[in-house]
């Protein structure tokens, strides 16, 4: 599936979840799905717990996150010794 089609699965509506990006047709935010993955949940775990989701929904969340930080400049923090 192309990046464009994956990103079509993510929506932003100020009336849903205070405007946070969500998976279309759900109240599950991209942030929530990324949090589950960061805590060690597998795609299979997430799909089992949320049967309405698909692998493409999870991929869409990852792609959205990647695109969100793509043009951000990071300044390395240095530790004062």
Q: What is the pLDDT of residues 25-73, one digit of tens each?
A: 999 999 999 999 999 999 999 999 999 999 999 999 999 999 999 888 8
Note whether 46 and 38 are within 8 A (CB). Answer: no
Note whether 17 and 8 are within 8 A (CB). Answer: no
Quickly state the pLDDT bin for 78 (edges 50, 70, 90).
Answer: confident
Residue 10's beta-bridge partner residues?
A: 23
* Spatial separation of the C-alpha atoms in residues 19 and 74, rounded to whole Å: 25
Single out the residue of 41, 70, 74, 81 nearest to residue 58, CA to CA: 41
Quickly state the pLDDT bin for 76 (edges 50, 70, 90).
Answer: confident
């Amino acid at each position: 599936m192309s990046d464009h089609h994956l990103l079509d699965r993510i929506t932003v509506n100020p009336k849903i979840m205070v405007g946070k990006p969500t998976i279309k047709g759900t109240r599950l935010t991209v942030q929530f799905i990324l949090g589950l993955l960061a805590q060690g949940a597998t795609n299979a775990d997430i799909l089992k717990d949320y049967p309405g989701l698909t692998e493409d929904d999870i991929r869409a969340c990852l792609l959205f996150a990647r695109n969100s930080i793509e043009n951000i400049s990071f300044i390395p923090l240095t530790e004062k010794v």
